[in-house]
Amino acid sequence: MTTLDQMRVVIVGGVAGGASAAARVRRLCEQCEVVVLERGPYVSFANCGLPYLVGGEIADVDSLRVHTPASLRAQLNLDVRIRSEVRSIQREHQVITVAELETGREYELHYDALILATGASPVLPPIPGIGRAGHFSLRDIPGSQHFEAWIKDCWSCRAVVIGGGYVGLEMAEQLKRRGLQVTIVEGQPQVMAPLDPEMAAWLHDELRDNAVDLYLNDPVTAFEERRAGENALASVVVLKSGHRIEADVVLLGLGIRPESRLAREAGLKIGALGGIHTNAHLQTSDPKIWAVGDAIEVRDAVTGAWSLLPLAGPANRQGRVAADNIAGRLSTYDGAWGTTILRLFRLSAGCTGANEKSLRKAGIRFERVHLHHASHADYYPGAESIAVKVLFSPDSGKLLGAQAVGRDGVDKRIDVFATALKGGLTVNEIAELELAYAPPFSSVKDPVNMAGMAAQDVLAGDARVLQWNDMKGLDRGKVLLLDVRRADERAYGFIPGSIHIPLNELRFRIFELPRDREIILTSQSGQRSYFASRILIHHGFRVRNLTGGYRTWKTAAGSGPVYAARSPEPTWAAREP
């Protein structure tokens, strides 16, 4: 029987999952042989930094090269072979066939343990003209260099980004920074799919505020040659609506799919989503082969459903878990919460856990609340509003997911929510978290605590809430919509059909309200309307509160498909006056 010190561990693929697995194996076993085979020219690089390299925020490409074969040999005694493609796996003999792409030479390599970290490749649907010159998918350093060569002298170029996911949004921001005219085309009704629609709407507004044209729910049908009168270096992007967009460069951000061909051809089990199937120890259907990173399917830690999660953080942790098990240390990967964050111009948007769509698909009952709260004490200069959404179980109060958008402090709150999810906390426990406070950093009641308290009110029956999208279905003959903001706030806009009684006047004007109709309350962010609901409940009225208030309703309901000027309303003011 081969002992650990005698083992040869072969890792197919570097970057996040493969490189972390290689490093962990070496730390657990100094004597075993570790071979890393990488098809590309770079074995360990920070591909998440590629948009910022294109935009110039990262000035030197060498900053993204985390390690080279030489540095990995020197520090970890790893045998790293770049430009080496694994062509096949002969499982019965524990042998792989490797091709040296520089020379064409092929050879066989025996393994005692094999880790597949083959990653993912860009989705390129069969859209006519998609392969035209000037079309790029940004996945690696060479790809970014080709992109840079195309646009380097193109300061007034028109760039069309196809897809409003993370890379598409980050690239839109960076191309604007470079001085290009930018259009985003997204076939779905919103950008950043992990967010619920009303939270993604803040990003739509931010794009428009920064003169990025945005086409939603209007997929590409073709990339065509320019016609007479059109001017496009790359192609004319034709949308389903018939709209034609002239593009000097096209960035394809239509998603990625797992690179599972090698595993499939070797007869390993492949999941329904096309990723390699693994158990909790990241072992494939062959006990000598493990798989990590973008190539595998993982359990959603909230819904239990299998999912694809192409994120660097989980891939790194998976590499460590696989290495532990190879070294004989029982270790499990318990699933992923999909914690992510994005910067888009002045906004940050983050999420963790499940959203409404995934909960509905899984048949999980949920309740949700919205709030808008200052990033730090509102009397201390520089406070910004954070829009927060929390999803939770209406029975146990267990946290199911959280989303946040704002100009400051979003990362901190999402990290706290992610930790709460991992710990299985309820909204009652979240309300009681003792978080760091000083005026420059937070409020006495942090936005995380406030979200927990808002959810507590719903669980306790102290607040009956209405969602922004429920407003369309209201029978206005049976309900009364009451706006309790100040008159100067209402002057910026209001929900049609609402009447106005400021909160400070409500107790003295209760006689004006009908008792035979339910009263729907709204304020700027939902806080004062909650206060109003408590007053009216004590006076025997039937009430519901619009969670998130006018801010959430206006942003979500007013998010159109193309560029539009913004209202002068101070949307991101930190304090609810």
- Which residues lie closer than 8 Å to 381 by C-beta, 6 or more apart? none
Closest CA to 15 of 362, 217, 313, 333: 313
Q: Is the dihedral of CA 37, 42, 43, 46 positive or negative?
A: negative
Strand order in the sheet with 95-100: 84-90, 95-100, 106-110
- Taking the C-alpha atoms of residue 250 and residue 546, their distance in angstroms, rounded to an integer, is 41
Distance separating alpha carbons of residues 343 and 500, to the nearest angstrom: 37
Q: What are the phi and psi torsion angles at 129 (to 5°)?
A: 85, 5
Element (H, E) at 322: helix 312-326
Q: Are 348 and 342 contacting, i.e. CB atoms less than 8 angstroms apart?
A: yes
Task: Specify which residues 370 forms β-bridges with.
Answer: 389
370 close to 388: Cβ distance less than 8 angstroms: yes
Task: Say which residues have a Cβ less than 8 Å from residue 71's Cβ, sequence separation at least 6.
Answer: none
Using DSSP bridges, classify how beta strands 340-344 and 347-353 pair: parallel, antiparallel or unpaired: antiparallel
Ramachandran region, residue 345 (left: φ > 0; alpha: ψ -120 to 50; beta: rest)? left
SS3 state of residue 177: helix
Measured CA to CA, the distance from residue 117 to residue 145 in angstroms comes to 24
> Looking at 32, 48, 154, 157, which residue is catalytic?
48
Going across the sheet that includes 543-546, the strands are: 465-466, 543-546, 518-522, 479-483, 499-500
Instruction: Report the C-alpha gap between 494 and 497 in whole angstroms.
Output: 9
Phi-psi sector, 150: left (phi>0), alpha (psi -120 to 50), beta: alpha
What Cα–Cα distance (Å) separates residue 534 from each residue in 527, 531, 541? 11, 5, 10
Note whether 397 and 338 are within 8 A (CB). Answer: no
What is the rounded distance in angstroms from the CA atom of residue 352 to the CA atom of residue 354? 7
Residue 150's nearest CA partner among 248, 50, 41, 51 is 248
* 485 in Cβ contact with 524 (< 8 Å): yes
What gap in Å lies between CA 71 and CA 311, rounded to an integer?
25
Integer-rounded Cα radius of gyration of the chain: 27
How many whole angstroms separate alpha carbon 30 and alpha carbon 67? 19
**b (16+ CB within 10 A) / e for 296-332:** bbbbbbbbeebbbbbbbebbbbbbbbbbbbbbeeebe
Task: Based on the residue annotation, tell me whether 48 is a catalytic residue of this protein.
Answer: yes
Could you list the active site residues? 48
